[in-house]
């Protein structure tokens, strides 16, 4: 498995080997050994999620309060999507920046987003499936969101070929500046301390 550390601290791209044959294909999108080598800790699984999206669906930007936060290991077993990680941690040297990676059912790339990072994606095909391995169960009282069309963020939605399909909750989400002013964003130093605790615990 190939591993690439993104410029945003706590985000990694994983590209597994794929084994096609006359029966179809076999691939292992998550493998513990390269994950531990990259992050320094095991991935705790508190919940797995599965979403199916039509073309032009935009989900996010989502994150959770830290601690405990919710780390995500995501991949696309069907269809294709543009996955975006957004640094919403106040005090981070890359605060307000984003990186985008295409996830699809051809290469089976995966992204890991540590606790405190924002996550969003655009479905590029109908019936696009996103699979999530989440470090903690869903906690609605700790769930936060940022407007994915906040002009100050400038997320890369140029592949939209129609009106974005979104939840009302995501449409009503505050801008990054509004969320910061309201004290809704994670603190970078608190996130770093949490990551170190995970590494110390093994």
Q: Count Cβ atoms below 10 Å from residue 107 Cβ, excluding itself.
A: 16
Q: Count Cβ atoms below 10 Å from residue 59 Cβ, excluding itself.
A: 20
- Buried b / exposed e across 110-121, counting CB within 10 Å, b at 16+? bbbbbbbbbbbb
Alpha carbon 119 to its chain's center = 4
Taking the C-alpha atoms of residue 121 and residue 148, their distance in angstroms, rounded to an integer, is 9
Taking the C-alpha atoms of residue 19 and residue 116, their distance in angstroms, rounded to an integer, is 34
Q: What is the set of active-site residues?
A: 62, 132
């Amino acid at each position: 498995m190939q591993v690439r550390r993104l410029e945003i601290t706590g985000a990694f791209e994983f590209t597994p080997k794929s084994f096609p044959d006359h029966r179809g294909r076999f691939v292992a999108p998550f493998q513990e050994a390269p994950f531990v080598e990259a992050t320094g800790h095991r991935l705790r699984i508190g919940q797995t999620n599965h979403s199916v999206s039509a073309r032009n669906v935009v989900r996010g930007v989502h994150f959770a309060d830290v601690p405990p936060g919710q780390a995500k290991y995501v991949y696309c077993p069907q269809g294709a999507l543009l996955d975006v990680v957004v640094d919403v941690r106040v005090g981070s040297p890359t605060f307000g920046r984003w990186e985008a990676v295409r996830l699809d059912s051809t290469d089976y790339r995966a992204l890991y987003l540590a606790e405190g990072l924002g996550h969003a994606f655009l479905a590029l095909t109908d019936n696009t499936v996103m699979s999530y391995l989440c470090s903690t169960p869903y906690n609605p009282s700790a769930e936060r969101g940022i407007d994915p069309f906040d002009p100050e963020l400038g997320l890369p939605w140029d592949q939209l070929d129609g009106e974005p399909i979104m939840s009302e909750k995501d449409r009503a989400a505050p801008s990054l500046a509004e969320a910061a002013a309201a004290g809704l964003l994670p603190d970078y130093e608190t996130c770093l301390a949490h990551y170190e605790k995970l590494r110390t615990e093994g």
